[in-house]
Structures are given as C-alpha cells and as structure tokens.
Structure 1
C-alpha cells in the first residue's frame, strides 16, 4: 500500500503494474468494502499490461481527513473532488475509471463533472446517480428493489449512527450475505473490510452518502458540483456496464430502467451469471477479461 497527501486527505491506495504510455486505470471500490476488493482484478489487469491504482475512499481504512473541521461528506461530488486531488498530486491528467457500487457513482460523477479527464468508464452495478434521474421521470423500480434498499431508509433515522456503532461488523456480514447470495466469501476478506470500517469517520461518511439534500455534512465547496449532478448531463466517453445476475440489492432489471439515455457515447452492457453484487470479488477472472477486451 502507498500513501499520498492532498489538500484535504491522506489517501491510502494500492498499486498494480507499472506506469506506461497507456492511460492509467483507477479502481474505485464500493460500500461496504475497501480497496482490497480489486486485488485479483488488479493483478489480472496488470498482467494484461495496464497500470492501475485503487484508492481507499474517504473515511475508509487508512484514508484520513487532515483537519478535524472538514465536513465528513460522503456525497459523490466530494468523492470526485478527492479523486481530482489524487490525480493532480500523482500527475495523472486522464484515466479510465472502473467503479463498483459507490465507485460506480463516483466514476459517473467524474464523467459528468470532469469529462476531459475521463478516457473510458467501466461501471459495475451502475446505480445511484442515474437511478435518481430515472425515478424522477416517474419510472419507478419494483417493490423488490424498495425492499432491498431497507438500509437506506434506516440511514435516515436518528438511530442509524448508534446501530452502526454497536455492530458494524454484523452489518457488513449481513449485507455481503444478502447482496451476493451463494458467495462463499473468506473470513479473512471480511475481517479486512471490517478493519477498514473502524476508521473513526467511516460511519459519518456512510450516513452522509445516503442523506441527499438534507445532509448536514454536505461540504459547501461542492454546491456547484451538486447542482451539475442534479441535472445529469450526458456521459460521452465509451462505457462498459457490468451487472451481477444474482445481485440482491441492485436488481439488474431495475438498474437498467431507462439509464441508456444518459449515455451519448458507446455503451456496452452485460449481465454476468453466477454472481451477485460483489461480482469483481466473486468472478474476478470474468470481470477482468471483460475489462481487458473493452480496453483493447
């Protein structure tokens, strides 16, 4: 693991491969997870000749705020600002953004807010930003999707913080089991993510990520970016969208509900069998092969 300091954060990140003339890849993890999710995919991408970095999102693992007064925002606008700081500090002008879950929303936000810095996108379990736009048009998801999103309603409640403080390990185990049914994850992998969730800012960032316009942790520096994201400008760079057939939280039928209209560049979509929400952990070979073919 390496570390780098930006204006707001000390960011931990993993590295795969060595820099080359190819555009670097930035692997963005989701929730509840950490950068270790990309371990196998990252190695395969490096074996394919690519250079990739996988940062830990704000409030997760080794990534820490430098100032106690910094708002602990978990919004996509804040996460994309962190990414710009990381890229600028590392001297990366343009990247391929490969994101899952929260990381997918961050990758989409980068394409919306900073299109000149997004070479291509790979979206795993694409949801969040585009779903809100689709739902705003009156195209509602199924009752199954509402049921699967129970935790988002919980996170709006005053009891949410104390519940997560009492048993964040149990929460992570429960949702891994429900979101990827049939996946026999290793206890070591789970324990690593639980350790990352011990970051003192993890809960505040998590709750902020789900509290929308009523979020008291929103950072005023992101207000303009939030306004742009609310308009959902088109994504023009080539995009690959991968979904798990057995995803227990982002049901792939609902997550494709009219999202194609937001992509004005080439879009390829595929549903992978025999995996759920954490498809890059469950079927790293299949995910890496799809990414390598797309990049080629």
Structure 2
C-alpha cells in the first residue's frame, strides 16, 4: 500500500467492500478497477496523480480479494461478469456517486464495460484495458485458433478438480507465473508482485476465481438473481460513452490484433491505443499512458 492510501469499507447488499480513496470528497469521481490476479497496487502510480488534479479517486478490492468480504456465509461466491458489474453499481450507490469515470482491465475492465453498456448515465467516460470486455457466453464453447487456446490453459486448468486443488495449494506461485507469462517484457513484475500477493490470501479467492472461469464457459450456473443481466449481455450491447481502449503490445494472454476487432462495439467517441513494451497489467506497467487516457477523456 502506498503511504498516502488508507483502506476504507462500505457495506453493499452482498459485500463489505474494501477500497482506497485518494483526493477530496468534492472532486469529480473516478473508479479504478483491477483484474485477476492483481489488486489496487496496480494503480499506485495512477491514483495519486489524478488526485493531485482534483479528482476523487476510488480503488476497490474486487470480491475475493484483499479485505473485501461477503456479508453472510450463505451468499454464493460467484465470480461471473454480472456479479462484478453489480458490485460496481452497489459501490457507487453506497458512496453516493451518481456518475463516475471508470478505468479497468481484465475483471475490472469487464465490470466497467458492462456498467458503461447497460447504465451509460452512470458513466462519464471509460478507459478499458483491451477494448470490449463483455463475455459472449453463448458462443464460449466454440474452439479458437490453437495459439489462443494455448494461452488460455489456466482457464481450462480451473475447470478441473486438479486445478481447484492447484490454486488452493499454490495460489501465490501460480499467480506469479501468470504475471510472468502475461507481461513477459516488464522488468518490475517480480519486484512488485510481492505487494499484491497478500490479496490472494482472501478466504473467498479460490471459490470466486474458479466460478468466474467456469461460468464463462457455461460449466457452472450463475446467480439466478443476475440472470436478467446475463441475458442482456448475451446481446452484446454497444458502449455509447466516450471510451479509450489501451492494449499492451506485449500482452502474453491477449495480444492485440493488427486490426481493431472491437471498434464496432462502441457507438460513441472511441479510440484504441496500442502501447509498445507493455503487457497485460496495463495501469501498473504504463501508468502515464493510463493517466493520459483518463485526462484526455475527462478534459476533452
């Protein structure tokens, strides 16, 4: 944790969400959302800069990470995309934020994209890691090209009982391996990984992660109360809010194609920026580019 950050908590219908806040409460709000397997440390060089510009910056720990906890033992530890989006909406509601700029990647980018697509009035602008992050679950069982399938090995591993036990026993080693594979040219990964690794000791981490990677392939049922949202997401709704997509040119899990295949999913202002020498952990590897994208949208 940075010396300027402090963990706060807010209680939503399902979670006691831990979050870090930078800046003043009167500033225009920005919510920064991490992915798997990362945590708020990914924004340590982003949030303070935005706060210095007068913004109120909220950086939550997603469900299953760090100090965030479910309110009751009986609540299902789901990791599906609709749950992440609902968590973001609930967070904004409990913090009395009617509208915010959103920035996220991986799981956090998915939550941000969903809220931007279905509740555009809640989103001032969007910076998304790797473009349109809504899962197309009805088509998820269609085979992809062999190179892409190879990069998704960890997802298929999590579909098995062996993978569940492997994540339980070796969560820190496995997540560190993913950092290395997904950001192969990043020199600070080993140094900074130790700051995020404790967040994976959350007692719900394994269950939430396993459900996330099974649900997206229709190998696990979702929360029935969120089925209406999943049905809307199956229609692949367009995102109308002003958006910038940041893509790491060296992303080891989802390298950006030469042609932007996501542009058709955005109906408002949209720009894709491919970042040379950057892998999957975009905000931590390229904090200046992340800040610039947000300010370009907020101050345009």
Query: Do both share a fold (TM > 0.5)?
Result: yes
| Separation in structure 2 between the aligned mates of residue 75 and residue 259 of structure 1, nearest angstrom | 21
- Deviation of the 1:144 alpha carbon: 2.5
1:287 pairs with 2:290: yes
Aligned to 1:72: 77
User: Does the Cα contact within 8 Å between 2:67 and 2:202 map onto a contact in 1?
Assistant: yes
| Separation in structure 2 between the aligned mates of residue 292 and residue 257 of structure 1, nearest angstrom | 23
With over 3 angstroms needed to count, the CA separation of the structure-2 counterparts of 1:160 and 1:67, relative to structure 1, is same
| Separation in structure 2 between the aligned mates of residue 111 and residue 290 of structure 1, nearest angstrom | 16
- Deviation of the 1:145 alpha carbon: 2.1
SS in 1 for 2:211: helix
User: Does the Cα contact within 8 Å between 1:56 and 1:62 map onto a contact in 2?
Assistant: yes
- Deviation of the 1:205 alpha carbon: 0.5
1:123 pairs with 2:128: yes
Alignment of 1:219-238 (within 5 A): 219-238=223-242
TM-score by length of 2: 0.90
With over 3 angstroms needed to count, the CA separation of the structure-2 counterparts of 1:264 and 1:128, relative to structure 1, is closer
With over 3 angstroms needed to count, the CA separation of the structure-2 counterparts of 1:127 and 1:250, relative to structure 1, is farther
TM-score by length of 1: 0.91
| Separation in structure 2 between the aligned mates of residue 139 and residue 191 of structure 1, nearest angstrom | 37
| Separation in structure 1 between the aligned mates of residue 46 and residue 162 of structure 2, nearest angstrom | 37
SS in 1 for 2:46: helix
1:253 to 251, 257, 269: 257
Q: RMSD between aligned alpha carbons? A: 2.3
| Separation in structure 1 between the aligned mates of residue 26 and residue 56 of structure 2, nearest angstrom | 7
Aligned to 1:8: 14
- Deviation of the 1:157 alpha carbon: 1.5
Structure 2: state its 5+ residue gaps.
1-6
Alignment of 1:33-72 (within 5 A): 33-72=38-77
- Deviation of the 1:262 alpha carbon: 1.2
| Separation in structure 1 between the aligned mates of residue 148 and residue 8 of structure 2, nearest angstrom | 38
| Separation in structure 2 between the aligned mates of residue 285 and residue 219 of structure 1, nearest angstrom | 38
User: Does the Cα contact within 8 Å between 1:17 and 1:51 map onto a contact in 2?
Assistant: yes
2:175 to 167, 172, 175: 172
With over 3 angstroms needed to count, the CA separation of the structure-2 counterparts of 1:189 and 1:170, relative to structure 1, is same
Aligned to 1:182: 185
User: Does the Cα contact within 8 Å between 1:124 and 1:242 map onto a contact in 2?
Assistant: yes
| Separation in structure 2 between the aligned mates of residue 95 and residue 247 of structure 1, nearest angstrom | 28
| Separation in structure 2 between the aligned mates of residue 70 and residue 88 of structure 1, nearest angstrom | 20
SS in 1 for 2:9: strand
Aligned to 1:92: 97
| Separation in structure 1 between the aligned mates of residue 249 and residue 142 of structure 2, nearest angstrom | 21
User: Does the Cα contact within 8 Å between 1:44 and 1:285 map onto a contact in 2?
Assistant: no
User: Does the Cα contact within 8 Å between 1:96 and 1:120 map onto a contact in 2?
Assistant: yes
Aligned to 2:108: 103
SS in 1 for 2:44: helix
User: Does the Cα contact within 8 Å between 1:101 and 1:127 map onto a contact in 2?
Assistant: no
Structure 1: state its 5+ residue gaps.
none
SS in 2 for 1:197: helix
